[in-house]
Amino acid sequence: MQKPIVGISIGDPNGIGPEVVAKTLQNEFIYQYCTPIVYGNIKIFNHIKKLCFLEHLHIHQIKNINEVKYGKLNFIHCGNDNFEATLGSASKEAGKESLNYIDRMLEDVKQNKLPIIVTAPVDKNSIALNQASFTGHTGYLANNLSVQNHLMILYNEGLRVGLVTEHLPITKLAESITSQAIISKAKVFIQTLQNEFSIVKPKLAILGLNPHAGDGGALGNEEIKIIKPAIESILNQTNAVVLGPYSADGFFGSGNMKKFDGVLAMYHDQGLAPFKALAFDDGVNFTAGLPIIRTSPDHGTAYDIASNLVASPYSFSNALFEALKLYTNRTENKEMKDNFLPFMEHKKERFRLETRDLPQ
């Protein structure tokens, strides 16, 4: 049986992306569950393979996705032949390279040929030198796929954290926290918990914006005027249990997050600082709301260790297997919803046949 195709971009060629991708794909176990297509610079990838003593890792180079060979490591070369990698150094040229890999992969996504993608880390500043509007994979993918409402979720086995705002300066945070923004992000979160994580009735915690969740208005009134009305609206529009707003420090410090299926934070560091303190080694970044499944590891380019070739592939491997799990859940839940009425009619007919001879 043909396994799902997974697109993999190698990230910043000067970072640890090519290394963790190569180390992950040497695991033959992976090919029992998917067929990977790597998008990147073949010269750089082969060089990293050699440095990491992975020359046994066979590559099937293809020009386009129609030439894919199932059960093999496929590779689409989409880099600059003249680019020379300098491990551990950020550069405009490396940013252009990594953006090329993403854009080439997106071409296949837009043609509905890639249901799953896993992205290795990029350097936002290096890419922004080539494309000023770039603030990260999440927004870039959403814009290219014409998705208005999406959500960044970082998770591991015991914790899922979503963000109302992502890569924004602190000075712009308050004006960006609106009831509508909270409602939109919460609805995507709830749908994702149901469809991709198979949680029928999710329990979602909403964090406050101000210290101590505003302390009754003494430290800010966003909780009273914006967040609480948003929670009431979410409760009226969904079948989820939604509680809050909670003070972020006490919420994580007390372990209260263990009682919830998801936590919606107002801004980046409010949610991700505690998450990475608790789950840095096995965290996965999932972009919810896209027509495809997209995950990535929760670490960056790690320039400081890139030239040492000692990067662990564990987080990237975890992101790949989690992508497959999310895809399976989404597919199965969609099939159940699409076939709900025929399934129920079958059950009713079976019940009728089994009970027709019972005494009346």
Give me the pLDDT at residue 1, please. 58
Q: pTM of this prediction?
A: 0.90
- 121 and 5 in one domain? yes
Q: Which tens digit of pLDDT belongs to each residue from 70-82?
A: 989 999 999 999 9
Q: Is 106 exposed, middle or buried (0-12, 13-18, 19+ CB in 10 A)?
A: buried
Give me the pLDDT at residue 337, please. 78
CB 131 within 8 A of CB 123: no
Domain count, the chain: 2
| H/E run at residue 321 | helix 314-338
- 173 and 265 in one domain? yes
The CATH number of residue 237's host domain is 3.40.718.10
Spatial distance between the Cα atoms of 127 and 92, rounded to a whole number of angstroms: 7
Q: Give the CB-side neighbour count of residue 37, counting CA atoms within 13 A.
A: 30
- 232 and 212 in one domain? yes
Spatial distance between the Cα atoms of 254 and 243, rounded to a whole number of angstroms: 16
Q: Give exposure, 226-250, as e/b (b: 16+ Cβ within 10 Å).
A: bbbebbebbeeebebebebbbbbee
Tell me: cis bond preceding 274? Omega within 30 of 0 counts: no
Question: Max CA-CA distance within the chain?
Answer: 84
CB 5 within 8 A of CB 113: yes
Spatial distance between the Cα atoms of 223 and 344, rounded to a whole number of angstroms: 44
- 164 and 234 in one domain? yes
Which of 220, 250, 277 is the C-terminal boundary of a domain? 277
Q: How far from chain centre, in Å, is Cα 20?
A: 17
In a domain, residue 284? The reply is no
If we measure between CA atoms, which residue out of 95, 78, 91 comes closest to residue 39? 78
- 3 and 126 in one domain? yes
- 16 and 49 in one domain? yes
- 3 and 98 in one domain? yes
- 172 and 142 in one domain? no
Which of 277, 301, 320 is the C-terminal boundary of a domain? 277
Instruction: Phi first, then psi: give them for residue 4, nearest 5 degrees.
Output: -60, 145
| H/E run at residue 5 | strand 5-9
3-state secondary structure of 352: helix
Spatial distance between the Cα atoms of 174 and 227, rounded to a whole number of angstroms: 12
Instruction: Phi first, then psi: give them for residue 316, nearest 5 degrees.
Output: -70, -40
Which of 251, 277, 303 is the C-terminal boundary of a domain? 277
DSSP character for 286?
A: E
If we measure between CA atoms, which residue out of 136, 129, 176 comes closest to residue 152? 136
- 224 and 248 in one domain? yes
Give me the pLDDT at residue 282, please. 83
Domain that holds residue 238: 151-277
Q: Which tens digit of pLDDT belongs to each residue from 211-250?
A: 998 888 888 899 999 999 999 999 999 999 999 999 998 9
If we measure between CA atoms, which residue out of 62, 100, 127 comes closest to residue 301? 127
Please spell the DSSP secondary structure of 95-163, one letter per residue: HHHHHHHHHHHHHHHHTT--SEEEE----HHHHHTT-TT---HHHHHHHHTT-SS-EEEEE-SS-EEEE
Q: In terms of C-beta distances under 8 Å and separation of at least 24 residues, what long-range contacts does 128-131 make, across chains too?
A: 128/95, 129/92, 129/95, 130/92, 130/95, 130/96, 130/99, 131/99
- 297 and 258 in one domain? no
Give me the pLDDT at residue 342, please. 55
**pLDDT tens track of the chain, all 360 residues?**
578 999 999 999 999 999 999 999 999 999 999 999 999 999 999 999 999 999 899 999 999 999 999 989 999 999 999 999 999 999 999 999 999 999 999 999 999 999 999 999 999 999 999 999 898 999 999 999 999 999 999 999 889 999 999 888 889 888 999 999 999 999 999 999 999 999 999 999 999 999 998 888 888 899 999 999 999 999 999 999 999 999 998 999 898 999 999 999 999 999 999 998 988 778 899 999 999 999 999 899 999 999 999 999 999 999 999 999 999 999 999 888 777 655 555 544 444 444 344 433
Q: Which tens digit of pLDDT belongs to each residue from 93-125?
A: 999 999 999 999 999 999 999 999 999 999 999
Spatial distance between the Cα atoms of 315 and 300, rounded to a whole number of angstroms: 11
CA dihedral defined by 176, 182, 188, 194, rounded to 10 degrees?
A: 150
